Structure 1
Amino acid sequence: MLRTLCFVTGNASKLAEVSAILATSGIKIQSRALDLPELQGNIEDISKHKAKQAAEAIGGPVLVEDTCLCFNALKGLPGPYVKWFIKGVGHEGLEPVLFQGRTDGKIVPARGLARFGWDPIFEYKGQTYAEMDKAVKNSISHRFKALEMLRKWMEAHV
């Protein structure tokens, strides 16, 4: 039975964690850093491609690891590209900041021109968004309120 694995990583922290986790298993870890091109795609395809390339380069069995960090608010991003996101925006850049605007109203039979989304059926103070002058809608809408929060946040943090 194979008792030694070549863990392909250049990340000393990953190596330390893997070694610590497997320390009592009797499996010994050797490591080797390889600069492998990263395939784009889902985590499964990326990991399989990485393992195949590493095994060919090493000439035998390897252990590879790839991780994902997926934010539901970002529809799964950065996913397997988290390493590159952190390099580009830092840890703070991966903290989603949500700006949620709300305008209370009611759903009514459609009125006004159907130019945008659900504007004809959302009524606020007697008028649907579709019936309002665009400047009026843009001064009271949920979108305005969220963007106003964004503007204030950026003034304070950027």
Structure 2
Amino acid sequence: MLNLVFVTGNRHKVSEVKAILGDTVDLQAVALDLPEIQGTLEEITLEKCRRAAEMTGGPVLVEDSALEMHALNGLPGPYVKAFVDTVGNKGLINLLVPHENKTAEAVCTLGYSSGPGAEPIIFQGKLVGQIVPARGVSSFGWEPIFEFDGETLAEMSREKKFGLSHRYKAVVKFRKWLEFQ
């Protein structure tokens, strides 16, 4: 069984990833202060993964989420956390007021490295939905404003969300890849 460090301080992400991976890995969560470079979601995730592998000295998994609003050419993208911290979900909604198109993609990018010096591998999951006025309570910043199939991610049962979310799709790709290693 692979011993794997999942670099996050978010216990809800740990719970979700552990539920999806099951007993395929021995997952240990570690919160590291990793600097985030400016760039694409993929570039940010690759750099975080490289640095995490160097810091831990072993196999690591990192995760980065983005919210890409179609009317805003993909903004806020990988910087969604900074947007939520600055303007909140109401501010994100207000960015779309002048636009008819409220479509957005939730994107989860996982980076895996087998250890220091090993080039990370990327696994990505996407979920297309709509930006709506906030509904529901969630531990993940923008989930109350992201609607899929009539419910926001914050309104969905844990089981339903775990079975269709952007994070679920990325982690399942990683799990399938691990099965062939």
**Which range, TM-score by smaller chain?**
0.5 to 0.7
Q: Residue 114 of structure 1 aligns with which residue? A: none
Contact 2:3 2:59 in 1 (8 A): no
More helix as a share of residues: 1
Following superposition, the deviation at residue 13 of structure 1 comes to 1.4
Q: What TM-score, normalized by structure 1, do the two folds share?
A: 0.58
Contact 1:22 1:28 in 2 (8 A): no
* Bigger Cα Rg: 1
- 2:29 is aligned with 1:31: yes
Q: Residue 11 of structure 1 aligns with which residue? A: 10
Contact 1:7 1:30 in 2 (8 A): yes
Distance 1:97 1:3, change over 3 A: same
User: What residue identity is the alignment partner of 2:15?
Assistant: A
Q: CA RMSD in A?
A: 1.4
> Following superposition of structure 1 onto structure 2, how do residues 1-158 of structure 1 map, counting pairs within 5 Å?
2-23=1-22, 25-95=23-93, 96-98=96-98
How many residues matched?
Answer: 98
User: What residue identity is the alignment partner of 2:71?
Assistant: A
Give distance in 2, aligned partners of 1:78 and 1:15. Answer: 24
User: What residue identity is the alignment partner of 2:5?
Assistant: C
More strand as a share of residues: 2
Following superposition, the deviation at residue 75 of structure 1 comes to 1.4
Identity %: 53
Higher RCO structure, 1 or 2 (CA under 8 Å, sep 6+): 2
User: Where in structure 2 are there 5+ consecutive unaligned residues?
Assistant: 101-181
Runs of 4+ in 1 over 6 A off after TM superposition: none
User: Where in structure 1 are there 5+ consecutive unaligned residues?
Assistant: 101-158
Distance 1:99 1:69, change over 3 A: closer
Q: Residue 136 of structure 1 aligns with which residue? A: none
User: What residue identity is the alignment partner of 2:97?
Assistant: V
Following superposition, the deviation at residue 5 of structure 1 comes to 1.0
Give distance in 2, aligned partners of 1:45 and 1:99. Answer: 29
Give distance in 1, aligned partners of 2:82 and 2:39. Answer: 14
